[in-house]
Structure 1
Amino acid sequence: MSPTALSVLDLSPVSAGGTVTDALRHTVDLARRVEQFGYRRYWLAEHHLAAGVASSAPTVLIGQVAAATSVLRVGSGAVQVGHRTALSVVEEFGTLAALHPGRIDLGIGRSGQRQAEAARERAAPTPAPTGARVVDGLLLPAPFSYAHLVGAPRYALATALLHQAGAQPPAFAGQLDDILALLRGDYRDADGLDAHAVPGEGADLQVWLLGSSGGESARLAGARGLPFAANYHVSPATVLDAAEAYRAAFRPSAALAEPYLVVSADVLVADTDAEARRLGSPYGSWVRSIRGGDGAIPYPSPEQAVTLPWTDADRQLVADRVDTRFVGAPETVAARLRTLRDVTGADELLITTITHDHADRVRSYQLLAKEWAQSGDTGRVR
């Protein structure tokens, strides 16, 4: 098997007792550190109206991270195009690529389009979810439905604030094709008029699609011959569906001759299994805040997590995420990541780690990189 690179997905988490300024500075510092540890790329997520997540403007953060590093590929994981225009995306990432040629990844995800699907799912009867299963050692829990969040007040508020009044998100496939055409320089509208993005046209960047299921994102990535990132950390139940749909739809392109799949994982590494479990104890409460519809809370400390209320319903709400988080000593986590890689056929693993203390997060990435290199899983991580 070819060496498997490790990369980073960062949400710029805000810790309880900390500030947004702290979180953003920690993002830049972490990027510098993981570059030294040998990670391949550093992606910034896009989240809005969450007190515990500061990555609401990924293009701004990408520029800061790229300027603070020298060899990391830096990009979006993912820019949500449901409330953006194709031209604005191309111009922004074209600017980044002009300043940092050969290092920028334009990771694209659905937002408004997926919200509309969730609304329809909520309105229609839903079949009972299938149970959890284990495939060659990889846990695939029962699917989790986000349909209940569509009715949450904060969902409606976010939709209103992210979209112009009366605006409807365009079809995802059409928007992707417009982005690709503007990047190539062959865009034409329905009347045959051309348009040229400056910056943007001919930009030296990579276009990715990200997705959580075997739906439109996976199929489009394959059909357009683009690399694809499947979210095991967000939707572990459907990661194999996403990988299979992507490969089944793949057609060679100027960008790729064969499929290239990245799979994400939520990871926390410490010197011992016990210490990793202690540091990871706030995770369930943090996920509960997201799935409850109020948005991510500032990430609690292990001491604070003990005092937070917790019910059986809470445990059920977050069980799939908690059970599929890779927590432990370096050798424990590396073994589980190898299983994830082998079962999904991932060409690369995208690691996201959240802790209350920044030093613990840096240490987790460092320990994993060292173990991964010693086990011979990659040729670059050191």
Structure 2
Amino acid sequence: MTRLSILDLAPIPSGGTAGDALRNTVDLARRAEDAGYHRYWLAEHHLTPGVASSAPAVLIGAVAAATRRIRVGSGAVQLGHQTPLTVVEQFGTLDALYPGRIDLGIGRSGQRARELRDAPPEPAAPATARRVKGLLIPPPFSFTPAITQAPIFALALALLQQPGAQSPDFAEQVDDIVAFLSGTYRSDEGHEAHAQPGEGADLELWVLGSSGGQSAQVAAERGLPFAANYHVSPATVLEAVDAYRDAFKPSQAYPAPHVMVSADVLVAPTDEEARRVGEPYGLWVRSIRTGAGAMKYPSPEEASAHEWTEDDRALVADRLDTRFAGTPEKVVEGLRVLKEATGADELLVTTIAHDHADRVRSQDLLAQAWADAGL
């Protein structure tokens, strides 16, 4: 049976606070464990009004303390903003406290953000979609100056590093993390350094990526598991998993490629209820893609008051069209298609709704339907 796991951003609902969101995360994690989910991962986002998951290592500790068996991890630590040593020390501490339960998911978001800021505008994507083994692959989303040149975008890059600091190459950072964990780190001058806690930690190390670029290559060449983002970049998910598998080199831990694929889901007893609860999703995605940062998640009533333009709809179409929303049977069938089209070994689902009760219900309904389907 394919494992099903959770990715949580600790979304802040309109009218709520960061404290509300974080308490909801801890509660949702407890319920995820009871429902049989395999992992509970926390995202990393900064300077966003509607997301409270800015310090995943801290939040992982709170979730691990509140649960007993479920694996807890990051999806993903942004290596462009931290050093390998600090990451290994943080997650080594978590492993020392909760041995055998901690995942370290890493990504190159910090480096990628700088590349987007400094690159010329991307050409408009062709307005065609396709289906591969039944899975919708929309046109690629083109990052525009409205996003990459937004003040909040530049400010985040400035505030997350010391003045003048430069992030090393992602591959070098991953190699340093592996070396600190294994106790084999040597500086360029040949000096040893040992992370404590961290050295010898029983962590699962994952690389997350949205394309067939460096993240997929780094994971493959080091024999690490790879998590591909259908929910963030649905247009490039097949490119990502194919590149990873093509370049994979067996390791002691992973003699064969191991892929997890993410998806946005919302499950409700009826399609009509899923449409009602899910109506704010497009407005929330719009807030991200206009460069304002994720807004506090609106209520269905607040979302219904928004007057949509054609440009608005085009801006969020790929994310709306690839969200699996509806009855348990409908969502399970969508996830089955995603699993078969990508060859995923595991699936990672993320659910956002204004009311915590709707997220809990979605999570519970999906777990039961997935188990009943025997997938």
Normalising by structure 1, we get a TM-score of: 0.96
**Deviations along 1:228-256, whole A, 9 cap, x unmatched?**
00000000000000000110111111221
- Residue of structure 2 in register with 1:349 after alignment: 347
Distance across 2 between alignment mates of 1:191 and 1:63? 35
Which of residues 28, 31, 36 is equivalent to 2:29? 31
Distance across 2 between alignment mates of 1:250 and 1:360? 40
- Residue of structure 2 in register with 1:143 after alignment: 140
2:305 matches 1:317 = no
- Residue of structure 1 in register with 2:264 after alignment: 266
Displacement of 1:108 after TM fit? 0.2
Aligned to 1:165, what secondary structure does the other structure show? Answer: coil
Distance across 1 between alignment mates of 2:284 and 2:123? 27
Paired residues of 2:278 and 2:353 also in contact (CA < 8 A):
yes
Equivalent runs, 1:6-155 vs 2, <5 Å: 6-122=4-120, 126=123, 128-129=125-126, 131-148=128-145, 149-155=147-153
Displacement of 1:136 after TM fit? 1.5
**Deviations along 1:335-368, whole A, 9 cap, x unmatched?**
0100000000000100000000000100001000
Distance across 2 between alignment mates of 1:15 and 1:135? 35
Paired residues of 1:122 and 1:150 also in contact (CA < 8 A):
no
Q: What one-letter code is carried by the residue in structure 2 that aligns with 1:75? A: G
Summarize the Cα distance change of 1:28–1:128 in structure 2 as closer, same or farther, 3 Å threshold.
Answer: closer
Which of residues 191, 195, 211 is equivalent to 2:189? 191
Distance across 1 between alignment mates of 2:168 and 2:227? 22
Aligned to 1:60, what secondary structure does the other structure show? Answer: helix
Displacement of 1:182 after TM fit? 0.5
Summarize the Cα distance change of 1:218–1:130 in structure 2 as closer, same or farther, 3 Å threshold.
Answer: farther
Q: What one-letter code is carried by the residue in structure 1 that aligns with 2:313? A: R
Q: What one-letter code is carried by the residue in structure 2 that aligns with 1:25? A: R
Displacement of 1:115 after TM fit? 1.8
Paired residues of 2:125 and 2:140 also in contact (CA < 8 A):
no
Normalising by structure 2, we get a TM-score of: 0.98
Aligned to 2:194, what secondary structure does the other structure show? Answer: coil
Q: Following superposition, which runs of at least 4 residues in structure 1 exceed 6 angstroms of deviation?
A: none
Displacement of 1:128 after TM fit? 4.6
- Residue of structure 1 in register with 2:199 after alignment: 201
- Residue of structure 2 in register with 1:161 after alignment: 159
Paired residues of 2:124 and 2:142 also in contact (CA < 8 A):
no
Number of aligned residues: 374
Displacement of 1:226 after TM fit? 0.4
Paired residues of 1:220 and 1:249 also in contact (CA < 8 A):
no
Distance across 2 between alignment mates of 1:112 and 1:25? 27
Gaps of 5+ in 1: 378-382
Equivalent runs, 1:322-337 vs 2, <5 Å: 322-337=320-335
Displacement of 1:120 after TM fit? 4.2
CA RMSD of aligned residues (A): 1.1
**Deviations along 1:177-225, whole A, 9 cap, x unmatched?**
0111000000001111000000000001110000001110011101100
- Residue of structure 1 in register with 2:274 after alignment: 276
Gaps of 5+ in 2: none
Distance across 1 between alignment mates of 2:269 and 2:144? 39
Aligned to 2:120, what secondary structure does the other structure show? Answer: helix
